[in-house]
Amino acid sequence: MMRYISTRGQAPVLTFEQAMMTGLARDGGLYVPEVVPVFAPETFAALAGQSYEDVAFAVMKPFIGDTFTDAEFRGLLTRAYAGFGHAARAPLVQIAPNHFLLELFHGPTLAFKDFAMQIIGQMMQAALARSGERITIVGATSGDTGSAAIEAFRGLANVDVFILYPHGRVSEVQRRQMTTPTEANVHALAIDGSFDDAQARLKDMFNDFAFRDGVRLAGVNSINWARVLAQVVYYVYAAVNLGAPARKVSFTVPTGNFGDIFAGYIARKMGLAIDQLVIATNHNDILDRAMRSGDYKTDGVRPSISPSMDIAVSSNFERALFDAYGRDGAAIDALMGELKSGGFRISQGALSMLRATFASGRCSEEETLATIRATLANSGQLLCPHGAVGVKVAEDHMGAHDANRGPMVTLATAHPAKFPDAVEQASGIRPPLPPRMADLYQRPERVTLVPNDLQALMALVRERIAI
């Protein structure tokens, strides 16, 4: 049975099911597997050509252990990915010699977060149905996570889902994806404040243990281990279909909270033949600066045209630091204490490990727009601004290395129609929504405006779930 430990070393050791239901550890840390299973090269090779769901089963099974029977887990995977608009789920598209896009935007909310959220919804509901318990999901979002969570949990019998988003500060598509579902267990809350306010109130709720236990609060933000695990699957799927393990594949990942690229790191730890793992940031570049200078220092957040990567600090980076510091929970706890007052210096040993593991680069706003234009001209592919950040940084890294290296895969994390203003500004083309959601602008909206006030929020949650 696989066990999960906290990066700060003080929280109880949990099973997969407990780690999924808990989200943030009670010592403030993040759960990671005690040991990452390693697959033989033949095991990876045998996955080439298999369906996404079959690859997901093989990759996730050792991590979830006997949480579900094999038949049950296969059923959950089938349901999770049935609503995707592409039979391949995560198709590869070539945009230049040796450079591929992994399209992760064919899910119900048009961003990669659907890959993890859909299967988590299914796994949580199955576990709860067995125990007869209910949980309350509360999430804070700058846009993509909230819509993906609502889409994944809508109508599930044992779950209420509350999503806090900053009033007036998400895109219209993102807002409508959160406010138009009609199911009674969905609660879209527009907070009178910023995304940071929403996230701070969410943290406060989790730190109020009486409230947390009383409403059986569960979190699905990107620090939930089950989300990372579900994202490992598409690294394996892409790599084996491009010739791994016989040839190594590199990945460039548009990065915000470091959840997505950390999944790539786990895939490599499992033995997948990954060459480079490249962190791509927009002008909110704390990670790129840290990789270059060794100083992990916050510098505020400047809005960008790739808003899902607008972060001051990357919460999942803690997981990489945990390994880089030899899994020393006390050291991580001390670093996170320093982070509260602005930042810390990464030790020389840890920095060497991180540099041996990740490359990095940043992309300015002008470069993002220019990359959307150039990629359209050179390949016919219309990128969303996040994918464009990835493509630009990938090109910089491909240019710096010899052509005998294996293929580069850039993760296209959202559909261009999710960010139509920036795409139109860059290319002159206003990308339409896929036909299956073309009526999004006609559906009635349902949302509650809430003050930036913890007590009021907790009262509202209690009242809605009638505990």
Give catalytic residue positions.
113
The stretch among 40-48, 196-204, 234-242, 258-266 that binds ligand PLP (CB under 6 A) is 258-266
In SS3 terms, 267-312 reads as HHHCCCCEEEEEEEECCCCHHHHHHHHCEEECCCCCCCCCHHHCCC
The set of long-range contacts for 20-24, using a CB threshold of 8 Å and a minimum separation of 24, is 20/120, 20/123, 20/124, 20/127, 20/224, 20/225, 20/226, 21/124, 21/127, 21/135, 21/218, 22/218, 22/219, 23/206, 23/218, 23/219, 23/220, 23/221, 23/223, 23/224, 24/206, 24/219, 24/223
> Using CB under 6 A, which of 146, 254, 329, 420 touches ligand PLP?
254
Contact present, 133 and 161 (Cβ < 8 Å): no
The stretch among 234-242, 255-263, 349-357, 392-400 that binds ligand PLP (CB under 6 A) is 255-263
The amino acid that residue 114 corresponds to is D
> Using CB under 6 A, which of 6, 158, 222, 410 touches ligand PLP?
222
- For position 113 contacting ligand PLP by CB under 6 A, the verdict is yes
- For position 406 contacting ligand PLP by CB under 6 A, the verdict is no
Pairing of strands 295-297, 343-345: antiparallel
- For position 22 contacting ligand PLP by CB under 6 A, the verdict is no
CB of 320 to ligand PLP, least distance (A): 12
- For position 252 contacting ligand PLP by CB under 6 A, the verdict is no
CB of 72 to ligand PLP, least distance (A): 28
Upstream peptide bond of 245 is cis (omega within 30 degrees of 0): yes
The residues pairing with 408 across neighbouring beta strands, listed in sequence order, are: 99, 250
> Using CB under 6 A, which of 17, 53, 114, 144 touches ligand PLP?
144
Residue whose pair of structure tokens reads 């697959």 in the numeric block: 39
CB of 310 to ligand PLP, least distance (A): 10
Q: In terms of CB distance, is 20 or 458 closer to ligand PLP?
A: 20
Q: In terms of CB distance, is 125 or 231 closer to ligand PLP?
A: 231
CA distance 21 to 124: 7
Contact present, 411 and 390 (Cβ < 8 Å): yes
CB of 416 to ligand PLP, least distance (A): 11
Contact present, 104 and 412 (Cβ < 8 Å): yes
> Using CB under 6 A, which of 259, 264, 406, 407 touches ligand PLP?
259
Q: What is the dihedral sign for C-alpha 461, 462, 466, 467?
A: positive
- For position 111 contacting ligand PLP by CB under 6 A, the verdict is yes
Q: In terms of CB distance, is 384 or 408 closer to ligand PLP?
A: 384
- For position 371 contacting ligand PLP by CB under 6 A, the verdict is no
H or E segment and range at residue 316:
none
> Which is nearest to 199 in space by CA: 123, 256, 154, 160?
256
- 125's CB contacts (< 8 A; 6+ apart) are 156, 157, 158, 159
- For position 413 contacting ligand PLP by CB under 6 A, the verdict is yes
- For position 290 contacting ligand PLP by CB under 6 A, the verdict is no
Site for ligand PLP in 420-439 (CB under 6 A): none
- Cα 151 from chain centroid (whole Å): 15
Contact present, 389 and 342 (Cβ < 8 Å): no
Residues in contact with ligand PLP, counted by CB under 6 A, come to a total of 16
Site string for ligand PLP, 74-103 (x = CB under 6 A): ------------------------------
Residue whose pair of structure tokens reads 């109020």 in the numeric block: 208
- For position 386 contacting ligand PLP by CB under 6 A, the verdict is yes
> Using CB under 6 A, which of 179, 257, 276, 282 touches ligand PLP?
257
- For position 140 contacting ligand PLP by CB under 6 A, the verdict is no
Q: In terms of CB distance, is 7 or 222 closer to ligand PLP?
A: 222
Q: In terms of CB distance, is 31 or 68 closer to ligand PLP?
A: 31
CA distance 309 to 361: 14
Site string for ligand PLP, 41-60 (x = CB under 6 A): --------------------
The stretch among 13-21, 54-62, 248-256, 327-335 that binds ligand PLP (CB under 6 A) is 248-256
CB of 68 to ligand PLP, least distance (A): 25
Q: Please give the C-alpha separations between residue 393 and each of 314, 363, 389, 398, in angstroms, as whole numbers.
A: 19, 7, 6, 9
Q: In terms of CB distance, is 279 or 457 closer to ligand PLP?
A: 279
CB of 360 to ligand PLP, least distance (A): 13
Contact present, 80 and 119 (Cβ < 8 Å): yes
Site for ligand PLP in 296-315 (CB under 6 A): 308-309
Interface residues with ligand PLP (CB under 6 A)?
111, 113, 144, 222, 254-260, 308-309, 386, 413-414
